[in-house]
């Protein structure tokens, strides 16, 4: 059967799709100059054996009822009908909400879900819990920018304004002399933007800038973080030590009187206090190039010459998200801003600070004049929340105190957790600890398209459709195209979209009208579209009506060119446009943060030793960064992702010297381990990686050989078996997943086959 191609969109690009005799063919959006190969992951995904066909209940939960259970992650499932599933789920939610209140339900449901404004799973969960039981314990911030999203409001007033609405690539390509990037600008990362991106333009802009004369310098443990098109310099740095390097650069600028004292006096507070710290007046320790060199591994001479190369130039500083996904991750974020200020660059064309530039396809882009509205989530009557990465802490330590952003809060006592559109066994650190945490629950409910490790820990699993099996509207505020996401296939098995599932549950809870407002999914799309259309009309932007839009499949929206406005406005008119900080200026010293009195994040940026440093037991750093071949764990079973594994295992990369000294060869299976567990991975050897560092990307589905082991062995290569589950600091409590320390050896036994994509044992009645 051949069907007319339908327009569609995903977090990694827009495309058209067609089913030819049950084979899905995906073609990138014609207007995309540099489409992502991740699109290929769709082609074998619709009917993969790891998809979930019917609702499921975990055997232990069915037999024993709700309650803590060590069998989660290691149990059989029983296929049930939707009627049975609705009855079990609505009954259990009523029981928990009536007995313990909505403050015992965790509905954070962190995760990227799929593109599509309406079926965004997390929004659906939140709306459902708000409209049926009056709320839920939520999570704040993200795994992406846990530390940055707390510190940046204190020191520059707003995160979004210097990240997503920061200086644009277009401006950089025209004006920047030096782009100094901590953590690089890997094109693998800007392939992706939440909500979708129809035009991948980073490669083109980087090429244009380099041709015009921009010097790119990438400070990173990996050479591959610098795109070839940048024709730049790779400065290899020990993971987690950028704060020391930047302090030394500031020391050199100050010592040579290269710091822009006029800018620092007019637009900043606290430079004098930082200078006292740099020069040793604060505590007797000088933070000069020699001092930093011993910490970060870059020679003192190169640190000094780098400072000289920045002086007098139009400089853009960027700090990747990755740097703050680590112990004391607040510090490099703060120091990147301070460095740009000491150079007097914020607010100049192509100059200043672009936090997370290149980390996602949103950054450095223009914003649409009007954006597509989000699904309203209703009112959450529960006040309790956690910083998102404190999940296991919360479940394991109910009632205990924790610090967050100057407050002392308590972990709530959670009985039931609900997850749709996220995979904590992908995103969270220390997976053995996460399993223990989930085992404390009475009930875990998960909606999933496939048998992820999270689904395998659930008590009730509800099968969700993929976007290809339903209607939606795809768009992001930084993408000028809006797409009709038209279905290309029927739902797999009995899968339903999250909205329909929640609508049925709301009906059984007597709250259908409150949840649906009487609308079908199609009517919601029309309703949301109409709201956008009205906003457009108010601004004299003409757009087709919904039916025409649906027929054409796409439309183009006008954009604003206001990137970088926060610091540009400050520079041009500080009285009229003070920053939304207590001083109205850039805070190099923050009295607010100082008054919090947390030793792990004092009032000005500092170098603090991480607890995780290579030692005799764990002599190597592990970088667990974003995968090039997929988005997180999504469609890890997809064609492109699988084609980039070896023996079915994720590939780790290490330096030839580190391999040689351990007798490890290309193509070997290696075992990477530390006190939390071990993973198997296939070996690639590369000089593009710093000696002393191993890289293993995230995204391989957790595949423990013995699910109940205290120190599990993952056969597939999921680095979160190894990462440490601690907060970045008492200030932000962000996740520290990016960097840990490990040992590596050749795996001498016969390597066990990967079983990540084999469904669990299911009993059909």
- Return residues touching Mo ion (CB under 5 A): 144
Phi-psi domain of 339 (left: phi exceeds 0; alpha: psi -120 through 50; beta: other): alpha
Q: Which residues of 336-360 are buried (b: 16+ CB within 10 A; e: fewer)?
A: bbbbbbbbbbbbbebbbbbbbbbbb
Residue placing its CB nearer to ligand MGD in the complex, 428 or 585: 428
Residue recorded with tokens 């659906």: 124
**Helix (H), strand (E) at residue 11:** none
Q: Which of 46, 79, 129, 192 binds ligand MGD (CB under 6 A)?
A: 192
Catalytic residue among 12, 112, 363, 550: 112
Q: Is there a contact between 39 and 13 (Cβ–Cβ < 8 Å)? A: yes
Label the pairing between strands 367-368 and 559-560. antiparallel
Nearest Cα neighbor of 170 from 577, 566, 559, 572 is 559
CA distance 534 to 536: 5
Q: How far is the CB of 443 from Mo ion (least distance, A)?
A: 28
> From the CB of 323, what's the least distance to ligand MGD, in Å?
5
Chain positions 699 to 728 lying near ligand MGD, rule: CB under 6 A, are 719-720, 723
Is 463 or 563 the residue whose CB approaches ligand MGD more closely? Answer: 463
Q: Show the 3-state SS of 501-547.
A: HHHHHHHHCCCHHHHHCCCCHHHHHHHHHHHHHHHHHHCCCCCCCHH
Q: Closest separation between CB of residue 12 and ligand MGD, Å?
A: 7
- Of 73, 107, 239, 364, which lies in the binding site for ligand MGD, with binding defined by CB under 6 A? 239
**CB of residue 697 vs ligand MGD: minimum separation in angstroms?**
8
> How many Å apart are CA 637 and CA 48, to the nearest integer?
8
Q: Which of residues 534-573 bind ligand MGD (CB under 6 A)?
A: none
Binding segment for ligand MGD (CB under 6 A), chosen from 27-35, 567-575, 619-627, 678-686, is 619-627
Using CB under 6 A, which residues numbered 509 to 538 contact ligand MGD?
A: none
Between 220 and 728, name the residue whose CB sits nearer to ligand MGD: 220
DSSP 281: T
Question: Which position among 58, 72, 415, 447 is part of the footprint of ligand MGD (CB under 6 A)?
Answer: 447
Instruction: Tell me the closest approach of the beta carbon of residue 532 to ligand MGD, in angstroms.
Output: 21
Tokens for 556, please give them.
Answer: 């183009």
In this chain, which of 121, 248, 341, 489 binds ligand MGD, going by CB under 6 A? Answer: 121
551 burial via Cβ count (<10 Å: 0-12, 13-18, 19+): exposed
Smallest gap from Cβ 359 to Mo ion, in A, equals: 8
Q: Are 588 and 276 in contact (CB under 8 A)?
A: no
Position of tokens 């975990």? 58
Range 287-326, binding ligand MGD (CB under 6 A) = 320-323, 325-326
Q: Is 143 in the site for ligand MGD (CB under 6 A)?
A: yes
User: Can 12 be counted among the known catalytic residues?
Assistant: no
Residue choice 107, 196, 270, 421 for contact with ligand MGD (CB under 6 A): 421
Shortest-Cβ-distance residue relative to Mo ion: 144
Q: Which is nearer to Mo ion, 356 or 678 (CB)?
A: 356
Q: Residues 314, 348: contact at Cβ < 8 Å?
A: yes
- CA-CA distance, 352 to 569, in Å (whole number)? 13
Among the listed residues 499, 492, 406, the one whose alpha carbon sits nearest the alpha carbon of residue 450 = 492
Q: Closer to Mo ion at the Cβ: 28 or 196? A: 196
The residue whose two tokens read 């009285």 is 575
Which is closer to ligand MGD, CB of 235 or CB of 579?
235
- Told to check if 384 binds ligand MGD by CB under 6 A, we report no
The pairing of strands 268-269 and 472-474 is unpaired
Site string for ligand MGD, 729-758 (x = CB under 6 A): --------xxx-------------------
Q: How far apart are CA 68 and CA 85, in angstroms?
A: 20
Q: What are the φ and ψ backbone dihedral angles of 142, each rounded to 5 degrees?
A: -140, 165
* Residues 512/86, Cβ–Cβ less than 8 Å: no
User: How far is the C-alpha of 93 from the C-alpha of 83, rounded, in Å?
Assistant: 15
CB atoms under 10 Å from CB of 576, counted, come to 8
Contact between 112 and ligand MGD per CB under 6 A: yes
Least distance between ligand MGD and beta carbon 134 (Å): 23
Q: Is 472 in the site for ligand MGD (CB under 6 A)?
A: no
* C-alpha to C-alpha distance for 221 and 238, rounded to whole angstroms: 6
Count of residues of this chain found to bind ligand MGD when the rule CB under 6 A is applied: 63
Q: Measured from the CB of residue 345, what is the shortest distance to Mo ion in angstroms? A: 27
Q: CB nearer to ligand MGD: give 12 or 267.
A: 12
Catalytic residue among 77, 110, 404, 524: 110
- The tokens of 604 are what? 């000005």
Q: Is 112 a catalytic residue?
A: yes
Closer Cβ to ligand MGD, 268 or 316, answer by number: 316
DSSP 388: G
Task: Please tell me whether residue 413 binds ligand MGD under the rule CB under 6 A.
Answer: no
CB of 127 to ligand MGD, least distance (A): 14
**Rounded Cα distance, 368 and 480, in Å:** 6
Strands 762-763 and 677-685: unpaired
Residue 18, classed as helix, strand or coil, is strand
Residue among 428 and 571 whose Cβ is closer to ligand MGD: 428
Chain residues in the site for ligand MGD (CB under 6 A): 111-114, 119, 121, 143-144, 182-184, 186, 188-189, 191-192, 219-222, 225, 237, 239-240, 242, 320-323, 325-326, 359-360, 420-423, 426-427, 447-450, 452, 464, 498, 623-628, 631-634, 698, 719-720, 723, 737-739
- Could you give the residue numbers annotated as active site? 110, 112
């Amino acid at each position: 059967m051949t069907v007319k191609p339908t327009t569609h969109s995903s977090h990694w690009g827009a495309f058209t799709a067609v089913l030819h005799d049950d084979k899905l063919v995906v073609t990138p959006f014609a207007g995309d100059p540099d489409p992502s190969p991740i699109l290929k992951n769709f082609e074998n995904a619709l009917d993969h054996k790891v998809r979930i066909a019917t609702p499921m209940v975990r055997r232990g939960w069915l037999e024993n009822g709700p309650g803590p259970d060590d069998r989660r992650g290691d149990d059989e499932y029983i296929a049930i009908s939707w009627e049975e599933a609705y009855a079990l789920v609505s009954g259990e939610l009523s029981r928990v909400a009536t007995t313990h209140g909505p403050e015992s339900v965790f509905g954070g449901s962190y995760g990227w879900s799929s593109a599509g404004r309406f079926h965004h799973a997390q929004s659906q969960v939140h709306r459902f819990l708000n409209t049926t039981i009056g709320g839920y314990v939520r999570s704040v911030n993200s795994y992406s920018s846990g530390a940055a999203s707390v510190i940046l409001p204190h020191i520059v007033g707003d995160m979004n304004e210097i990240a997503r609405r920061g200086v644009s690539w277009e401006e950089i390509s025209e004006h920047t002399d030096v782009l100094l990037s901590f953590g690089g600008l890997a094109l693998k990362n800007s392939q992706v933007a939440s909500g979708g991106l129809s035009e991948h333009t980073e490669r083109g802009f980087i090429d244009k800038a380099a041709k015009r004369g921009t010097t790119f310098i990438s400070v990173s443990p990996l050479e591959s973080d610098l795109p070839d098109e940048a024709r730049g310099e790779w400065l290899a740095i020990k993971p987690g030590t950028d704060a020391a390097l930047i302090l030394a650069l500031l020391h050199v600028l100050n010592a040579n009187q290269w710091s822009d004292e006029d800018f620092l006096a007019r637009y900043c507070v606290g430079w004098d206090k930082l200078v006292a710290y740099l020069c040793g007046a604060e505590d007797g320790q000088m933070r000069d190039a020699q001092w930093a060199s011993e910490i970060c591994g870059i020679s003192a001479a190169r640190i000094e010459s780098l400072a000289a190369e920045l002086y007098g130039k139009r400089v853009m500083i960027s700090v990747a998200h990755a740097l703050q996904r680590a112990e004391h991750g607040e510090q490099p974020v703060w120091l990147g801003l301070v460095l740009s200020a000491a150079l007097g660059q914020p607010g100049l064309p192509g100059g200043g600070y672009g936090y997370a530039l290149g980390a996602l396809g949103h950054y450095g882009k223009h914003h649409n004049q009007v954006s597509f509205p989000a699904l309203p989530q209703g009112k959450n009557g529960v006040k309790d929340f956690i910083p998102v990465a404190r999940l296991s802490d919360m479940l394991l330590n109910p009632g205990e105190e924790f610090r967050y952003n100057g407050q002392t809060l308590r972990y709530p006592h959670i009985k039931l957790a609900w997850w749709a559109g996220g995979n904590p066994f992908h995103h969270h650190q220390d997976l053995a600890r996460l399993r223990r945490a989930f085992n404390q629950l009475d009930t875990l409910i998960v909606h999933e398209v496939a048998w992820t490790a999270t689904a395998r820990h659930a008590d009730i699993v509800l099968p969700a459709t993929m976007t290809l099996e339903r209607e939606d509207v795809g768009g992001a505020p930084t993408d000028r195209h809006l797409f009709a996401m038209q279905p290309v296939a029927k739902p797999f098995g009995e899968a339903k979209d999250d909205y329909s599932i929640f609508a049925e549950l709301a009906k059984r809870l007597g709250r259908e009208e409150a949840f649906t407002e009487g609308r079908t999914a199609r009517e919601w799309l029309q309703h949301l579209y109409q709201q956008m259309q009205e906003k457009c009309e108010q601004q004299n932007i003409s757009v087709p009506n919904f039916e025409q839009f649906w027929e054409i499949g796409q439309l183009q929206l006008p954009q604003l060119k206001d990137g970088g406005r926060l610091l540009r406005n400050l520079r041009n008119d500080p009285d009229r446009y003070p920053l939304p900080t207590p001083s109205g200026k850039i805070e190099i010293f923050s009295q607010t943060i100082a008054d919090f009195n947390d030793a792990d994040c004092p009032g000005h940026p500092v170098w603090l030793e991480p607890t995780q440093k290579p030692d005799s037991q764990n002599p190597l750093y592990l970088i667990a960064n974003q995968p090039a071949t997929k988005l997180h764990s999504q469609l890890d079973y997809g064609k492109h992702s699988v084609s980039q594994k070896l023996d079915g295992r994720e590939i780790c990369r290490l330096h030839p010297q580190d391999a040689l000294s351990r007798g490890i060869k290309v193509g070997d299976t290696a075992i990477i381990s530390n006190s939390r567990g071990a993973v198997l991975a296939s070996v690639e050897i590369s000089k593009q990686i710093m000696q002393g560092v191993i890289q293993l990307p995230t995204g391989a589905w957790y595949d423990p050989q013995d699910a109940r082991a205290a120190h599990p062995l993952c056969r597939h290569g999921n680095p979160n078996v190894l990462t440490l589950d601690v907060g970045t600091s008492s200030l932000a409590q962000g996740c520290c997943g990016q960097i840990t320390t490990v040992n590596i050896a050749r795996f001498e036994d016969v390597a066990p086959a990967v079983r990540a994509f084999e469904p669990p044992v299911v009993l059909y009645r």
